[in-house]
Amino acid sequence: MKISSTKRYETLRERMGNGDMDRRSFMSLLGYAGLAAGVAGGAMTAMSRQALASGTELYFEGWGGVVSEALRKHAFDPYSKKSGNTVVDSAFGGESEVLTKIKAAGSINGHNILHSSGVSWYQRWVDNGYGSKLNEANIPNMKNVMTSIIAPFRAITPDSLSAVPYDYGTTGIAYNTKHISKEEAEKLGADLLLKKDLKGKIGGWGGDWANRAWYGALQSGQDPNNIQDWDAVWEKAREHRALVAKYWESGAELMDLLAKEEIYVTEAWSGRVAALQAQGHPIGYLDPKNGLAWMESMFVLKGSPMDEAEELLNFMLAPETAIAVAAGQKYPSSLDPQKVEMPDEVKELPAYDPTGKLEGLVFRDPSTWNPVEKEQKKQWNRIKKGA
């Protein structure tokens, strides 16, 4: 039985409305259907033309705030203008949130590229079956990325990458210089977060058990990548909890709490502190000994439109784009400063490594942290609730 163009359009639209089809598939099928029909005029032909001209939508999820603003201004908008594709970006509360949504939905619809947090999460996405296979021939700007920052990802997936490293930074300690001197901060180090007379003015990142445990390790005198006494770690976490005014959940909330002086001290992401300092707030920053460094990647989920994703990643790694984003979000780029000349505003960012080797930073070792995640994450969740 022959189906009219209008009926075909209505059927496809109903399937999309019922959740049986995402918008990209809908537009593609609509376009192909219009070509196959070969008719002129009518709603189907008009929609087909729209479909063929609409480009591809790429769904991006990241950390929000100044980071998202920098990516939107310097990467996504220029890319969309150049390519005709659209980057639909949103902020997440953390990658655990995204992983839970995808598992519950049984599909990656609405999720394509994540501003993923380091090697541990790279391993986790791959282990859960969401690793894609990037064609690096389509990303020629990868040649300028630091070998040292790619190596940990290649160690996990030696045959192909699922992400490109994009930036790096540290999780140090931010403090209000009107209430805490530089000398006192440097003297106390990680123990500044446990100073009792600051009770009610101390913050903490509540969204990541591993960050809490890293600081517990430092405060209990242990190597965070070789923890021998987990009870001591969590006892320090309890001590911290008793002093905390609020656990923040996002970079935007971190900046707001510090800017409004609702808290005087907290662990904090280096780029967010740099952004506050640029705005004129009296915020100091300290990386304690063995403080946590991390690298972030642009992770492409399996099942995403790969050609368009690779095109976007190559655009983002172009020196003019990557440097502009680095200056905007206040995190150093993954580009090798031995290959690409960096401007002073990037060289002055916290954690910036002029050698491109990253040997002075301490990263989380996924081989020791990932195996204990299930057990220790439960422990942190109990303590956070008052246990």
pLDDT the model gives residue 2: 44
Residue by residue, DSSP assigns 263-310 as -SEEEEEHHHHHHHHHTT--EEEE--TT-EEEEEEEEEBTTS-HHHHH
pLDDT given at position 54 = 61
Distance of CA 319 to the CA centre of its chain: 20
- pLDDT category of residue 65 using cuts at 50, 70 and 90: confident
Mean pLDDT in residue range 124-136 = 97
Of the pLDDT bands very low, low, confident and very high (cuts 50, 70, 90), residue 14 is low
* pLDDT at residue 25, rounded to an integer: 54
The pLDDT of residue 37 is 43
Determine the pLDDT at residue 367: 85
380 vs 5, residue with greater confidence: 380
Give the tens place of pLDDT for each residue, 114-123: 999 888 899 9
pLDDT of residue 15: 55
Mean per-residue pLDDT for 55-60? Answer: 93
Do the beta carbons of residue 342 and residue 323 sit within 8 Å? yes
Q: Judge whether residue 90 has pLDDT over 70.
A: yes
* Lowest mean per-residue pLDDT among 33-37, 66-70, 208-212: 33-37
Average pLDDT, the chain: 88
Query: Average pLDDT, stretch 166-185?
Result: 97
Does 387 score more than 90 pLDDT? no
**Average pLDDT for residues 273-294, to the nearest whole number?**
94
**Nearest Cα to 33, choosing from 17, 20, 46?**
46
Residue 46 scores a pLDDT above 90: no
pTM for the complete prediction? 0.79
For the chain, counts of helices (H) and of strands (E): 18, 10
Q: Which residues pair with 145 in a beta bridge?
A: 335
Confidence of residue 23 (pLDDT cuts 50, 70, 90): low
Q: Contact, 165 vs 334, CB < 8 A?
A: yes
Q: Which residues touch 193 (CB under 8 Å, ≥6 apart)? A: 173, 202, 204, 215, 219, 240, 243, 265, 266, 267
What value does the mean pLDDT take over residues 12-19? 52
Confidence check: pLDDT of 10 > 50: yes
Q: What is the mean pLDDT of residues 340-367?
A: 93
Helix (H) or strand (E) holding 87: strand 86-91
Look-up of token digits 């040649």: 143
| Range among 17-31, 42-56, 329-343, 365-379 with highest mean pLDDT value | 329-343
Q: 308 near 366, Cβ under 8 Å?
A: no
State residue 83's pLDDT score.
94
pLDDT value of position 246? 95
Is pLDDT above 60 for 163? yes
Confidence (pLDDT) at 21: 54
Query: Looking at residue 89, what is its pLDDT?
Result: 92
- Read off the pLDDT of each residue in 134-145 and give the average, rounded to a whole number: 98
For 47, residues 6+ apart whose C-beta sits below 8 A from its C-beta are 9, 30, 34
Nearest of 188, 103, 164, 147 to residue 299 by alpha carbon: 164
The residue-averaged pLDDT of 125-154 equals 97
Nearest CA among 385, 241, 223 for reference residue 289: 223
Q: Per residue in 213-258, pLDDT tens?
A: 999 999 999 999 999 999 999 999 999 999 999 999 888 899 999 9
Q: What is the mean pLDDT of the segment spanning 202-217?
A: 93
What's residue 38's pLDDT?
Answer: 42
Average of pLDDT values for 192-216?
95
190 pLDDT higher than 60: yes
Percent of all residues in the chain with a pLDDT value above 70, rounded to a whole number: 86
Beta-carbon contacts of 153 under 8 Å, excluding residues fewer than 6 positions away, are 119, 122, 161, 162, 163, 165, 297
